[in-house]
Structure 1
Amino acid sequence: MLILFLILIHNIHLVSGVSLSDQVHQTPADMCKNPNETATLRCLHTISTYNRILWYKQSQGGQLQLLGYMWGSRPTLEANVSATLDGSADENKNCTLTIEKLQQDSNAVYFCAANNGEYEAYFGAGTKLTVLGKIICIEPPKVKVFKPSTKECQNEKHKKNKKTLLCVASDFYPDHVNVSWQIDGVDVKDGIATDHSAHWNGTHYRITSRLRVLFSQWFKPGKNFTCTVDFFDGEQTVSRVGWVAGIRNPGAAAIRNKYLKTTHNAKLSYLVLIIKSSIYGLFVIILVWKLQGFSRKPEK
């Protein structure tokens, strides 16, 4: 069995972006169970000539651990692995991995991989399994989006500078979350940096994600930036969102205020000039009227 394992490992490559990976279907994507319950994971492939399915366990931050493999309808488990393999590894057949009496050390992401012993193996998307704590209850995340810092927004020398929005999802359990961003309802793929995994604080999880947007995007009033956190609550996936709206460019506002102030002062000066001119004109009229009155008086 060791020789066979070495041969299989020699041919296995974690392939990303390869079309055949889309032909390996693993379900479910998420699973939450109570201690001592049973978890059943399924794998099916549609790759002709492939007749082997391997199962792996990846604990948090750890390497892939081979649990066993199905060759046709013949299962083989590694030593000290408490699980059951059933079904078939042939094309369009279901192969199941069953783990009984789940404990905390069962928490992991489980992968299946289709292989035929000669070519590279193609992996499924994985199943994240969480064995729930005895006291902690399932709780969805609280999501809040923070605007870019004031210092970051004050730098207007280069219009191509980008601004950073921060999304914080907190107080949730378990850590089955996926974070995505939208701008005006449209999904964003570029400029996103999300924590590799959620952080445990002793009672709940917390995860952060950052979105870098263009200067021109952020300084646009009414533009909506939304952070969506999809959370698996043990039965279904629910979404929680947080958002902020773009703001007016403070530099443009300062220029506008300066313009309005200058215009206001000009109007005020013009009004004062008109008043002074009117007073001067009235004075001249009165003076002329008096002079005409003196000129009309008869001589004694």
Structure 2
Amino acid sequence: MIILILNIFFKTVLVSGASFSQVHQTPAEVYKSPGETAELRCVHSIPNYNQILWYKRSKTGQLQLLGYMLASAAFPEAGVSVKMNGSADTNEISTLRTEQLSPIGSAVYFCLVRRVNYEAYFGQGTKLTVLDPNITITPPTVKVLKPSKNECQNEEKKGEKKKTLVCVATGFYPDHVSVFWKIDGDDVTHGVATDNAAVQVGKYYRITSRLRVPLRKWFTEGMVFKCTVSFFNGNETVHRSGWISGIEGPGASTIRGKYLRITQNAKVTYVVLIFKSVIYGVFVVFLVLWLQGSSGKQNN
């Protein structure tokens, strides 16, 4: 019941207009091995605010209060294995240390800056993964799939004007990824639907993202649709991409064939006209020479 209330509170405050620009939480992502210690930091620039609460949100969405700091005094929750240090005052650093990490320590951690009877502000969050020692950190393999023929037929029957491209990223561990789309080098967010979270299949993860594009773009031969997956490898963020090109629109070959036939006919007509012009020119020259010769004989 307490977890449910905290979860509702978390969502309410986060949606209420809290500004990340005034609260800075680091690092954004971190990997740790079992038994290691992770240290998270939170600092804010809000005048007269002096309280920081720390929360842990598990992969199931449950939110747990770990404790809070009031100025430089720490108040961890009972039964929670964390240490809080520093200060919650403006421009001071508050730290959260989690020791002897185990797989259940994998979660997203948030700091919340508040003052009684005033609006609260969340940090950006820190995604912490406690690694499985039997699995190697591996970036994803990315592939973009074109629309199925059945989808195309169904959409044309319904009169819809969109096609769906699917980006599939597979074989990565852990699940620290973000998906982005580009069309001919331009970022695109409209029409994008990405899975809320990666799904673990065996040892590794998989995530999909879908992009709905207008028919005119899909049926533009050579237009490039690129899907990029950003993956944090523990030291830096690396990128893996897949792409697909637009195809020739229906009827384009018929139109092109008709155009080629018209062009060919025009060429033939032009050659015939040139040939006739040459014949006519030769005839005129011959006639002029003949008339000149006849005139000379008469003068003699």
**TM norm structure 2:** 0.80
Range 117-126 or range 91-100, more displaced: 117-126
Question: SS of 2:35's equivalent?
Answer: coil
Structure 1 residue 136 corresponds to structure 2 residue 135? yes
Q: Which residue number in structure 2 is paired with residue 209 of structure 1?
A: 209
Matched residue, 2:298: none
Whole-angstrom CA distance in 1 between matches of 2:81 and 2:219: 57
Q: Distance in 1 between matches of 2:140 and 2:222?
A: 26
Counterpart in the other structure of 2:228? 228
Match of 1:106 in 2: 105
Instruction: Report the counterpart of residue 69 of structure 1 in structure 2.
Output: 68
Provide the identity percentage: 53
- Tell me the equivalent position of 2:181: 181
Unpaired stretches in structure 1, ≥5 consecutive residues = 272-300
- Identify the residue that residue 192 of structure 1 maps to in structure 2: 192
Between the two proteins, the alignment pairs up a number of residues equal to 263
1:191 partner amino acid: G
Where does residue 51 of structure 1 map in the other structure?
50
Residues 89-148 of structure 1: CA deviation (Å, up to 9, x unaligned)? 111111110001110010100011110121121111111100000210100000000111
CA distance in 1, matches of 2:125, 2:236: 17
Decide whether the 8 Å contact of 1:222 with 1:246 is kept in 2. Answer: yes
**SS of 1:15's equivalent?**
helix
Alpha-carbon deviation of 1:150?
2.0
TM-score scaled to structure 1, two decimals?
0.80
2:150 is aligned to: 151
**CA 1:252 to 1:98, structure 2 compared with 1: closer, same or farther past 3 Å?**
same
Q: Could you give the per-residue CA deviations for residues 5-44 of structure 1, whole angstroms, max 9, x where no partner exists? A: x9xx979942348363321111111100111011000111
The alpha-carbon distance between structure 1 residues 261 and 188, as it changes in their structure 2 partners (threshold 3 A), is: closer
Assess if the C-alpha contact under 8 Å between 1:11 and 1:121 holds in 2.
Answer: no
Letter aligned with residue 198 of structure 1: A
Secondary structure in 2 matching 1:49: coil
What is the rounded CA distance, in whole Å, between the counterparts of 2:139 and 2:30 in structure 1?
15
Distance 1:77 1:12 in 2: 22
Letter in 1 for 2:215: F
SS in 2 for 1:50: coil
Question: How far has the Cα of 1:202 moved from its partner?
Answer: 1.8
Distance 1:11 1:211, change over 3 A: closer
SS of residue matched to 2:14: coil
> How far 1:252 moved relative to its partner?
2.8
SS of the aligned residue for 2:234 comes to coil
Q: CA deviation at 1:162?
A: 0.7
Matched, 1:87 2:86: yes
Residues 53 and 19 of structure 1: CA distance in aligned 2, closer, same or farther (over 3 Å): closer
Cα gap change, 1:185 to 1:19, in 2 (>3 Å): farther
**Equivalent residue number for residue 168 of structure 1:** 168
Q: Please give the alpha-carbon distance, in whole angstroms, between the structure 2 residues aligned to 1:58 and 1:82.
A: 15
Contact 1:140 1:172 in 2 (8 A): yes
CA contact (8 A) 1:15 1:21 kept: no
Which AA in structure 1 matches 2:117? E
Note the aligned Cα RMSD (angstroms).
Answer: 2.8
Q: Deviations over 1:175-218 (max 9, x none)?
A: 00001111111111111111111011121000000001111111
Letter in 2 for 1:120: E
SS in 2 for 1:170: strand
CA distance in 1, matches of 2:53, 2:99: 19
Question: 1:180 is aligned with what amino acid?
Answer: F
